[in-house]
Homo-oligomer: A and B are copies of this chain.
Amino acid sequence: MWVQREIRLRPRPRGFHLVTREVLEGIPELGDVNVGLLHVFIRHTSASLTLNENASPDVRDDFEAYFNATVPEDARYWTHTVEGPDDMPAHIKASVLGPSLSLPVAGGRLALGTWQGIYLCEHRDHGGPRSLVATLSGE
């Protein structure tokens, strides 16, 4: 069984955002899969997806602080600066965190740990809506 759906995420401010519910609502066929995998892919190079703590909002704030400190906008080695100071750091962050998640499905549900949630990582100041492709396979 293969199902593929496009999921459109509304614009978010720069930072890390919990989107587990939106992803699940975008691929309701997941309820029919007993054993399988859900692949979620972001079709952009300046935003990314990751899995992390779904409870405390300060964890998501600390992600933003950490990545801003570690991938600084004012580093002297950037040469690709035509699209603004947030652009090249956004590309780096996107590759460090990655463009996709593969998640196990068991008994019609994601088999995540208790504390795991899907983050949209918006690395641009004004990233606009973001497009995901969800691909579900299993039986």
Contact = CB atoms under 8 A, between A and B. Distances in A.
Interface of A: 2-4, 35-37, 39, 41-45, 50-53, 56, 58-59, 61-63, 65-66, 69-71, 75, 77-80, 88, 91-92, 94-104, 106, 111-113, 115-116, 119, 131, 133, 135, 137-139
| Copies of this chain held together in the complex | 3
A139 to B, nearest CB: 5
Contacts of A98: 50, 98
Which DSSP category, helix, strand, loop or mixed, fits chain A's interface? mixed
A35 B80 contact: no
Contact of A44 (B2, B44, B113): B113
B91 A59 contact: yes
Contact of A80 (B56, B78, B116): B56
Contacts of A135: 35-37, 104
Given A63-B92, A102-B102, A75 B69 contact: yes
A53 B78 CA distance: 15
A97 to B, nearest CB: 6
Contact of A97 (B66, B69, B71, B96): B96
A97 B97 contact: no
B99 A116 contact: yes
